[in-house]
Amino acid sequence: MKRTSEYAAIAEAEIRAISLPKENLEGLYAPVEYGMQAGGKRLRPTLVLMTADAFGQNPEKALKPAVGIEMFHNFTLLHDDVMDKSALRRGRPTVHSKWDENTAILSGDTMLTLATEYVADVDDSILRPVLDTFNRQALRVYEGQRLDMDFESREEVGLEEYIEMIKAKTGALLGGAAKIGALIGGASKEDAERMYDFGVMLGVAFQIEDDYLDTFGNAETFGKPIGGDINNNKMTFLMVKALSMGGANAEALKVAMKMPEGPTKVKTVTRIYEAMGMPAISKAEAAAYSSKALTAIKKTSLSDEAREAYRKLIEKLIGRSK
């Protein structure tokens, strides 16, 4: 097994090498390449590569599907940015602000089809389960996005349905990445399912940590301004959990949500969260899902070395700015 940073570097190199037909189709394919070159942790292709390796396959055999999974992820970001009317992502103009909305829609569609082609670049013997896994996770991601959009117009969201939304929107793609890596690695059907479960639980832990960092993180290491979720009244784990606890603090939160955007609102909500013990509660919840992810790994036939690699990955992700 390699270090996760090595798998990420292999994926990054392959992504940088993508070259699409540009002659008279610049307006279709340049945004695809731009969307892919946004950088980031490359967590999803890392999961594909390391899981193929963990099950004994040369990770080179998983390279195209790894790129496909990352392309699917970037396709969802591209369309999400149109829907959210976001001008920036990771400090760069989004595709629809650099080009225009129609370009973002069409080049996003192109990315989804290209992603399917990349993912399908596997041995014929496993094409069916790999393709099914990919399509099923895609539908789960859309379902999660739909639920997330529906939550925006609601005053209250239950903790259970929030977790279900995260399992779909964030977990399914991590689950799909791990399962596809396992299938390429020659894992048994049972082990492939366990790797899917691992990815879903990792996704939930990851999202809870991300929600935490958006309020309690350090802007520099987090890479985004702190307090964005609070200003947007976003239904995050912190907000959903805090509201579900009820009492005077929950009522105070509801009042604070009606405040205009700005540092006073961010400070007010943050203080209420602190009074409710949300930092510790959030950390404990992320740890609980990390532990579920590790339990899924322990149920597989993977070697101790591989298990240790996944444990380190979790530690790196969930404890990523302690």
* Binding of residue 112 to a second copy (CB under 8 A): yes
Q: Helix/strand/coil (H, E, C) string of the chain?
A: CCCHHHHHHHHHHHHHCCCCCCCCCHHHHHHHHHHHCCCCCCHHHHHHHHHHHHCCCCHHHHHHHHHHHHHHHHHHHHHHHHHHCCCEECCEECHHHHCCHHHHHHHHHHHHHHHHHHHCCCCHHHHHHHHHHHHHHHHHHHHHHHHHHHHHCCCCCCHHHHHHHHHHHHHHHHHHHHHHHHHHCCCCHHHHHHHHHHHHHHHHHHHHHHHHHHHHCCHHHHCCCCCHHHHCCCCCHHHHHHHHHCHHHHHHHHHHHCCCCCHHHHHHHHHHHHHCCHHHHHHHHHHHHHHHHHHHHHCCCCCHHHHHHHHHHHHHHHCCCC
Instruction: Give the binding-site size for a second copy (rule: CB under 8 A).
Output: 35
> From CA 31, how far away is CA 199, in angstroms rounded?
29
Q: How far is the CB of 27 from a second copy (least distance, A)?
A: 5
* Binding of residue 87 to a second copy (CB under 8 A): no
Closer CB to a second copy, 232 or 301, in the complex: 232
Taking CB under 8 A as the binding criterion, the range among 111-119, 175-183, 284-292, 301-309 that sits at the site for a second copy is: 111-119
Q: Among 16, 41, 90, 128, which residue interacts with a second copy (rule: CB under 8 A)?
A: 128
Q: How far is the CB of 258 from a second copy (least distance, A)?
A: 24
- Asked whether 176 and 137 are in contact (CB, 8 A), the reply is yes
Taking CB under 8 A as the binding criterion, the range among 5-13, 116-124, 285-293, 305-313 that sits at the site for a second copy is: 116-124
* Binding of residue 33 to a second copy (CB under 8 A): no
Q: How far is the CB of 230 from a second copy (least distance, A)?
A: 23
Q: Among 6, 33, 109, 193, which residue interacts with a second copy (rule: CB under 8 A)?
A: 109
- Give the β-pairing of 92-93 and 88-89: antiparallel
Taking CB under 8 A as the binding criterion, the range among 9-17, 34-42, 113-121, 277-285 that sits at the site for a second copy is: 113-121
Q: How far is the CB of 117 from a second copy (least distance, A)?
A: 5
Residues 6 or more apart whose Cβ sits within 8 Å of residue 145? 76, 80, 169
Residues in contact with a second copy, shown as a per-residue x/- string from 137 to 156 under the rule CB under 8 A = -xx--xx-xxx-xx------
Closer CB to a second copy, 84 or 315, in the complex: 84
* Binding of residue 159 to a second copy (CB under 8 A): no
* Binding of residue 131 to a second copy (CB under 8 A): yes
* Binding of residue 113 to a second copy (CB under 8 A): yes
* Binding of residue 102 to a second copy (CB under 8 A): yes
Q: How far is the CB of 208 from a second copy (least distance, A)?
A: 22
Q: Among 86, 97, 116, 249, which residue interacts with a second copy (rule: CB under 8 A)?
A: 116
End-to-end Cα distance, the chain: 26
Q: How far is the CB of 61 from a second copy (least distance, A)?
A: 17
Q: How far is the CB of 68 from a second copy (least distance, A)?
A: 11
User: 92: which strand partners?
Assistant: 89
- Binders in 161-200 for a second copy, by CB under 8 A: none
Candidates 35, 44, 33; CA nearest to 11 is 44
Residues near a second copy, by CB under 8 A: 24-25, 27-28, 79, 82-83, 101-102, 105-106, 108-110, 112-114, 116-117, 120, 124, 127-128, 131-132, 135, 138-139, 142-143, 145-147, 149-150
